[in-house]
């Protein structure tokens, strides 16, 4: 998590790589393709509501370092896209560990008229409060965009899985899995322990590193499935400016229709976990 800068709207913002544009594009595609289903839970068609949940919301505005372009952060982009599609979220629940980032995103969303509910704290704790504020009888969509793989705490999935209708689009750091594998294997307590509790007992650490990484991910998939949420077979790889592999975007959801939506919205770079 880097230093904040002044945004083009005078509120705090952050610098990002060019890959952030691609990430937002996939997020917005999914929100757009699912607008018809979302509308069924919104007045006047229906009741129950439709919530957007973003537990790593950031400040809501970013400067692309390579080009000098200003772009919206995930909660702002998500709200705008839902409005453009005629099915705006009935509540926008945002959270962040950094208070300044949270306040900046909250201000930006309020200025656009979004029904925002901010929560300050680490995601494994704010998930429980987000659950309390969510659309219990409606539709919920969570975007999880952590700064490292350890921050994608498995407790988040356990908590959100208590919702009857929940789709989760998650960022999983391939770079952390590759670059920090040896560190996580050697450490008594590692980022992997938060990401996939119990992984040491399920993975043979005497294997080659690519096989260990693959087995960690398969163990994580099974762990998520045990909560009642299925992970999509379709993954989208986000790369850096030099083609370096950064992270995957993957959908986890209870309903088959959500996976069909993701298959369509992610089809440009559809693939599997490749180590």
Residue 167 has φ and ψ, to the nearest 5°, of -115, 135
pLDDT at 156: 98
Q: Is the pLDDT of residue 275 over 90?
A: no
CA 162 to chain centre: 17
| Each residue's pLDDT tens digit, 89-148 | 999 999 999 999 999 999 999 999 999 999 999 999 999 999 999 999 999 999 999 989
- Identify whether 204 is part of a domain: no
| Inside any domain, residue 58 | yes
> What's the pLDDT tens digit per position in 174-215?
888 887 777 777 776 788 899 999 999 999 998 998 899 899
The total number of structural domains in the chain stands at 1
> What residues have CB less than 8 Å from 83, skipping those under 6 apart?
none
pLDDT at 199: 92
pLDDT over 90 percentage in the chain: 77
Burial of 149 (0-12, 13-18, 19+ CB in 10 A): buried
With respect to residue 146, please indicate whether it lies within any of the assigned structural domains.
Answer: yes
pTM surpassing 0.85? yes
Q: Is 182 domain-assigned?
A: no
CA distance 180 to 233: 24
Residue with tokens 């890959």: 19
Helix or strand (DSSP H, E) at 153: none
- Answer whether 21's CB lies under 8 Å from 240's CB: no
CATH code at 263? 3.40.50.150
Q: What is the mean pLDDT of the chain?
A: 92
Q: Is residue 251 part of a domain?
A: yes
Angstrom distance (rounded) from CA 218 to CA 223: 9
User: In which order are the strands placed within the sheet that holds 61-64?
Assistant: 5-6, 12-16, 61-64, 70-72
Any domain includes 140: yes
DSSP string for residues in 189-237:
S-HHHHHSTTHHHHS-TTS-HHHHHHHHHHHHHHHHHTTT-EEEEEEEE
CA atoms within 13 A on the CB side of 76: 21
pLDDT band at 16 (very low <50, low <70, confident <90, very high): very high
Its domain, for residue 158, covers 5-173+229-271
- The answer to whether 91 touches 52, Cβ cutoff 8 Å, is yes
Whether 219 maps to a domain, the answer reads no
Residue 20: inside a domain, yes or no? Answer: yes
């Amino acid at each position: 998590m880097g230093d904040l800068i002044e945004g083009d709207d005078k509120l705090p913002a952050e610098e990002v790589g060019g890959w952030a544009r691609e990430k937002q594009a996939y997020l917005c595609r999914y929100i757009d393709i699912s607008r018809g289903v979302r509308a069924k839970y919104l007045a006047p068609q229906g009741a129950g509501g439709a919530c957007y949940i973003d537990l790593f919301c950031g400040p809501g505005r970013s400067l692309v370092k390579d080009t000098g372009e200003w772009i919206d952060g995930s909660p702002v982009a998500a709200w705008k896209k839902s409005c453009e599609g005629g099915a705006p979220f009935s509540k926008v629940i945002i959270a962040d560990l950094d208070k300044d980032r949270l306040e900046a995103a909250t201000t930006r969303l309020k200025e656009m008229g979004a029904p925002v509910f901010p929560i300050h704290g680490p995601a494994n704790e704010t998930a429980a409060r987000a659950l309390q504020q969510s659309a219990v009888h409606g539709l919920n969509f969570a975007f999880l965009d952590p700064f490292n793989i350890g921050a994608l705490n498995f407790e988040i999935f356990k908590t959100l899985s208590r919702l009857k209708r929940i789709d989760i689009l998650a960022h999983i750091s391939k770079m952390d899995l590759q670059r920090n594998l040896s560190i996580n294997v050697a450490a008594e307590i590692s980022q992997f322990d938060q990401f996939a509790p119990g992984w040491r007992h399920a993975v043979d650490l005497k294997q080659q590193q690519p096989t260990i990484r693959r087995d960690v991910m398969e163990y994580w998939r099974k762990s998520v499935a045990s909560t009642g949420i299925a992970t999509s077979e379709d993954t989208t790889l986000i790369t850096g400016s030099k083609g370096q592999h950064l992270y995957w975007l993957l959908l986890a959801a209870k309903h088959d229709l959500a996976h069909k939506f993701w298959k369509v919205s992610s089809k440009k770079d559809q693939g599997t976990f490749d180590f």
